């Protein structure tokens, strides 16, 4: 692959760094509230944390991540399969 080899640790570190950036981190509470269908006031009330609400936020965020990952894994697999098909038939494609 040449000089563009990136380790899993480097990719995970870059993802964590981008998540903790000042542009993204302030959006996390609003994102979690939107995904769970609740308000920030209900999440951080003075009476304490509601376990049912916390569970709903966790399950909603987990479902979003699984769905998002599934879509992009399928897109990547499709692109790889198309690439293999194109490379195997490059002579025919070039003639067409």
Mean pLDDT by 10 residues, the chain (96 residues): 78 91 89 83 76 86 92 95 92 89
pLDDT at 73: 95
pLDDT at 40: 81
The terminus-to-terminus CA distance of the chain in angstroms comes to 29
For residue 68, give every residue at least 6 positions away whose Cβ sits within 8 Å of its Cβ, in sequence order, or none. Answer: none
pLDDT at 3: 64
Domain count across the chain = 1
Interhelix angle for 51-88 vs 28-36, to 10°? Answer: 100
Query: Domain span at residue 13?
Result: 2-95
């Amino acid at each position: 692959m040449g000089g563009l080899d990136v380790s899993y640790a480097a990719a995970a570190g870059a993802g964590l760094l981008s998540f903790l950036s000042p542009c993204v981190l302030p959006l996390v509470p609003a994102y979690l509230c939107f995904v769970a269908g609740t308000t920030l006031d209900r999440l951080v009330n003075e009476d304490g944390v509601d376990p049912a609400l916390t569970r709903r936020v966790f399950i909603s965020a987990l479902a979003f991540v699984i769905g998002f990952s599934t879509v992009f894994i399928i897109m990547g697999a499709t692109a790889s399969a198309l690439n293999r098909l194109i490379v195997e038939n490059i002579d025919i494609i070039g003639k067409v």
